[in-house]
Chain A
Amino acid sequence: MTDTSRPGVRDEEILSLEGVSLWLSGREILHDVAFSLRAGELTGLIGSNGAGKTTIFRVILGLETPSAGKVLFAGHPRQRRSKSIGYVPQSIGLDPDVPLRARDLVALGLDGDRFGIPLPSRSRRQLVDEMLEAVDAQGFADARVGKLSGGELQRTLIAHALIAKPRLLLLDEPLANLDIRSEQEVVGLLAKIAKAHAIAVLISAHEMNPLLPVMDRVVYVASGRAASGPTEEVVREDVLSALYGHHVDVLHVHDRILVVAGKDETHHTELERTHTVVPRGLG
């Protein structure tokens, strides 16, 4: 095991974006985005479609280079691609006939980038079984990946990403195609994984309520701008109104939060860097 894959110390800063801006084809896609992720924490990247969530993912993965700002991974400048970041896409197009079982897909997560044909080994099989157990996938381990339901495939992909012992796990809209029960299962699973393996988990979603029970921090994105911090400090009318550039109402209904566009349009104000975001180092 290399150095970058040792189990993270809790609260250690895994990823940090500082003043990241990105211009593409003459448009500013991201403006001055800053947040950090810690080991053992589950962070929600919340925003509507087109707000910039996917772009932020791409920046973290090194698929886009910021026009300004820095991306630091465990304190070091971001290398182009790294095995220490696990990525689970929203869904993958799969033929029902693809000749891979769930356990094969998970096994590929272990060494899919190494050359050669895998020799059957007990330790390999054991690791795969462990991972399958961790995501509760033993029931369909031998089923074809193309035949799995949305939730089952989701868990398989998580196991695939997890088996490589990443320090950071990115999930792109994992809840989008799931029913309520699967949603709750996946959310609980991800929280468990974050704590148990001391990795930083970043989940993007356009709806934050399913994540509220487990979210340690939130990064709220709108129009390429972001506000980050603990949920109760970011999801507030003043913060979000400044972010959106017009008035929004934040309503608390029982244990859910609703962000509603308000009626009057106020002039867009420049988001100050240290406005209401809790300075890094706390929280």
Chain B
Amino acid sequence: MFSGFMVNAWIVATMVAVVAGIIGFFTVLRGSAFVAHAVPQAGFAGAAGASLIGVSTLAGLGTFAAISALSIGFLGKRGRHDAVTALTLVFMLGLGALFLSWSEEYASAIYALLFGEVLGVSSNQVLATAALGVVCIAAVVILYRPLLLTSVVPEMAEARGVRTHRMELCFLVVVALVTTMSVPVVGALLMFSLMVGAPGAARSFTGKPLSALSLSVGISVAIVWTAIAASYETDWPVGFFVGVLGAVFFIAGRGWVAWRRSAAGRVDSTGHLATGPMQPATATGMNGEPT
């Protein structure tokens, strides 16, 4: 499975795994489950449209992903909680189905875009994926600190002059880039499992930010490599393995946390008995909204 056309697949898959693991770390930190669903679905419509008019799938994917990501950013909190966004997303899926219904490979194209595809990775795709990957990683390295700050304590960051809104937009753009890289490999519907499963598991095992980030990448790579190998051997869809493995790792992480909690009473992750009474972390931000 390591020869010929599969080499490309391995290279692309690894890059996707690394970047998804990194961006996923911040996605989970920011609680942006919605974004992780929305952008891939919008991208699906773009990819469908692109394949219809003969343009590169990545281009269509990227365009729609970027537009949707920025729309979420500019519509802000209102956009996120509104019925409009949910309905628009469903519309995106319907639109993608429409585009694909006009093409000859209706069923197989839909399937590949929604659930992932291992074969058929061209050299162009390798280059494009590499370029996107480099940009994503560079962005995260540069924005690491302010991104971390605005993810955990946004009001305090805002008070210090960090432009949280700009950070949000940067983050969303990076999510769009990751989506563009990853959807051809893991599928629009399973993108979420990769982006959330690995970091969700990683944070259960360690409390240090950089360790959690590294572990997230490690788990993500493990998931993707296994998925590719298994898919190659069994011909079963990549998305199946990604979805199931993502859940397995995530649940393993939760199980670990629960086991430690029950095994040692109220002990925190460093083994110290937490001092003081436990208070519920209710939150009302400066805007009066629940944070």
Contacts and interface: CB of A to CB of B under 8 A. Distances in A.
Interface of A: 54, 57-58, 61, 63, 80-83, 85-95, 97-101, 104-105, 108-109, 111-118, 139-140, 142-153, 157, 160-161, 164, 170, 172, 177-179, 182
A144 B269 contact: yes
23 contacts: A54-B286, A57-B286, A61-B159, A81-B161, A83-B160, A87-B159, A89-B155, A91-B281, A92-B153, A93-B291, A99-B208, A112-B145, A112-B146, A113-B160, A114-B145, A114-B146, A143-B268, A143-B272, A144-B207, A144-B269, A150-B281, A151-B279, A161-B156
Nearest to A182: B276
Contacts of B153: 89, 92, 105, 108, 157, 160
Given A90-B284, A172-B286, A144 B268 contact: yes
A89 B285 CA distance: 7
B283 A92 contact: yes
Contacts of A149: 274-279
A108 B149 contact: yes
A142 B281 CA distance: 19
A178 B277 CA distance: 9
Interface residues of B, number: 51
Contacts of A90: 283-284
Given A144-B269, A177-B279, A104 B208 contact: yes
A177 B282 contact: yes
B203 A97 contact: yes
B244 interface: no
B291 A139 contact: no
Interface stretch (B70-78, B120-128, B136-144, B234-242): B136-144
Given A108-B145, A139-B272, A100 B277 contact: no
Contact of A142 (B272, B276, B278): B272
B229 interface: no
Interface in B189-234: 202-204, 206-212
Given A92-B155, A101-B208, A177-B280, 20 more contacts: A54-B288, A81-B160, A82-B160, A83-B160, A89-B155, A92-B283, A99-B208, A100-B209, A104-B208, A108-B149, A108-B153, A112-B148, A113-B146, A114-B145, A115-B145, A116-B145, A147-B268, A153-B281, A157-B153, A172-B286
Contacts of A61: 158-159, 286
Nearest to A149: B276
A107 B202 CA distance: 22
B104 to A, nearest CB: 47
Nearest to A161: B156
Contacts of A104: 208-209
Contact of A178 (B143, B155, B157, B279): B279
A186 B146 CA distance: 28
A140 B274 contact: yes
B257 interface: yes
Contact of B145 (A85, A91, A113): A113
Which one of A97, A140, A145 has the highest number of Cβ atoms from chain B below 10 Å of its Cβ? A97
B29 to A, nearest CB: 7
A112 B157 CA distance: 8
A111 B145 contact: yes
A99 B211 contact: yes
B148 A147 contact: no
Given A99-B211, A108-B148, A108-B149, A115 B160 contact: no
Contacts of A182: 276
A81 to B, nearest CB: 3
Interface string B251-280: 000000100000000001110101111111
Interface in B127-173: 141-146, 148-149, 152-153, 155-162
A191 B145 CA distance: 31
A164 to B, nearest CB: 7
B159 A113 contact: no
B4 interface: no
B207 A152 contact: no
Contact of B156 (A88, A117, A146): A88
A113 B149 contact: yes
A219 B275 CA distance: 34
